[in-house]
Amino acid sequence: MEKETTPSQSEWLIMEVFWANDTPSMTAKEVISKIKDKSDMSPRMVRVLLNRLWQKGVLSYTVDEHDLRVYHYSVQKSKEECQKEKSRKFVDSYFEGSRKNAMAALLQSADLTEEQFRELEEILEQCREKEHQNHDGTGILG
């Protein structure tokens, strides 16, 4: 079985704290302080989840030079990277890898406004242009 490398739902709450933070690293105590208003997670659970995020490669840490019991955690995967990876795994798990079928299912279940349809059309056009650039030699891969 493939090793999980994306945050679970609970871990995602913790990562939201990191992604919204302006400093390059945070201690478990700082994370606990910031998450207490958003969740009823115990401090012990936050520490367990920080460890899991480190094991998944989503966070890294350094040990405090003045107190070896304190770890400073830093983000290793951006929110966008995690979202893309989660999306790929979702499509693989529920749509046998078919991005087209996944998109169709999501669109058919959505109640979209005319403005949202226009925004989606723009996104599709940008994806089409990017794909053409990658295949005709003018893009990054060419």
pLDDT score for 140: 46
pLDDT score for 53: 97
Question: In this structure, what token pair is assigned to residue 119?
Answer: 């925004």
pTM of the predicted model as reported, rounded to 2 decimal places: 0.77
Number of residues that this document lists for the chain = 142
Provide, for the chain, the percentages of residues in helix, strand and coil under a 3-state DSSP scheme, each rounded to the nearest 5. Answer: 60, 10, 30
pLDDT tens track for 71-106: 999 999 999 999 999 999 999 999 998 988 998 998
Q: Which helix (H) or strand (E) holds 105?
A: helix 99-109
Architecture of domain 9-77 in this structure: Orthogonal Bundle (1.10)
pLDDT score for 19: 96
